[in-house]
Amino acid sequence: MRRLRRTIVTLILLGLLGLGALLLYGHARSHPEDMPWTALDLTRPVGMFTGRKIADLADEGPRCQALLDQAGVRFTALPARGGGEQCGYDHAVRLRTDGALGIRYSPSGLGTSCSVAAALALWEWHVVQPAAQRHFGSEVERIEHFGSYSCRRLYGRDSGAWSEHATANAVDIAGFVLADGTRISVVRDWDDEAAAGRFLREVRDGACDLFATVLSPDYNEAHRDHFHLDQAQRGTMGWRACR
């Protein structure tokens, strides 16, 4: 009797495991963006592992550019830039608005690593524009920034770790300009309790799903006037910063 009971329990557990495997397989088929082993596709919605997959593109410039092209994102490939052992970049791009993207960057001519550009594209589609429509009933026409490439250490110090800006693997976002001319500024509107402040916090939070590091005024005084977004490589399952 005891053996029969154990057999029944074992069969039930095996059945539950089988059911779980079937459910996981079905979810993977319909939501590959949520699976760590599926290939990145920029035309898919943002999933649990999208941000990590984009960060992993840092050493795969040609593949990253091919993914942008497949998603209808037009860009200008920038020539490689040397800058010593710690600075410079390969496969950086400048996003264009004659394809699937509609937001311009100001100042114009922003060039970033391809992995940062890929995340900016998804941020526009899935975070920034939907948030602007929700809070203002208008689209974002322009994003104001403080630049990407800068051969320097963190905080411009004379020693210590090098910034992701040293390889154009970061961008600092200062504000947003809507189609009707309304300007939302990080430094001015972060503490606003109305639409502007809610919009800024929503796009900051949404960036955390796409970038390895997101630093905002909540982090420290040095970031009181911008969002720092980067794709620091910390491994497929490495830690991510969202402040």
Render each residue's pLDDT in the chain as its tens digit; 243 residues: 666 566 664 555 554 444 443 343 343 444 677 899 999 999 999 999 999 999 999 889 999 999 999 999 999 999 999 988 899 999 999 999 999 999 999 999 999 999 999 999 999 999 999 999 999 999 999 999 999 999 999 999 999 999 999 999 999 999 999 999 999 999 999 999 999 999 999 999 999 999 999 999 999 999 999 999 999 998 767 789 999
Asked if residues 233 and 56 have their Cβ atoms less than 8 Å apart, the reply is yes
Give me the sign of the Cα torsion angle 170, 56, 53, 237: negative
99 and 14 within one domain: no
130 and 20 within one domain: no
Residues near 119 by Cβ (< 8 Å), separated by ≥ 6? 51, 54, 207, 210, 211, 229, 231
Evaluate whether residue 159 is within a structural domain.
Answer: yes
- Number of structural domains, the chain? 2
111 and 182 within one domain: yes
Return the pLDDT at 66: 98
144 and 222 within one domain: yes
Evaluate whether residue 26 is within a structural domain.
Answer: yes
Asked if residues 38 and 28 have their Cβ atoms less than 8 Å apart, the reply is yes
Closest CA to 57 of 223, 211, 190: 211
Evaluate whether residue 35 is within a structural domain.
Answer: no
For residue 7, give its domain range. 1-30
N- to C-terminal Cα separation, the chain: 59
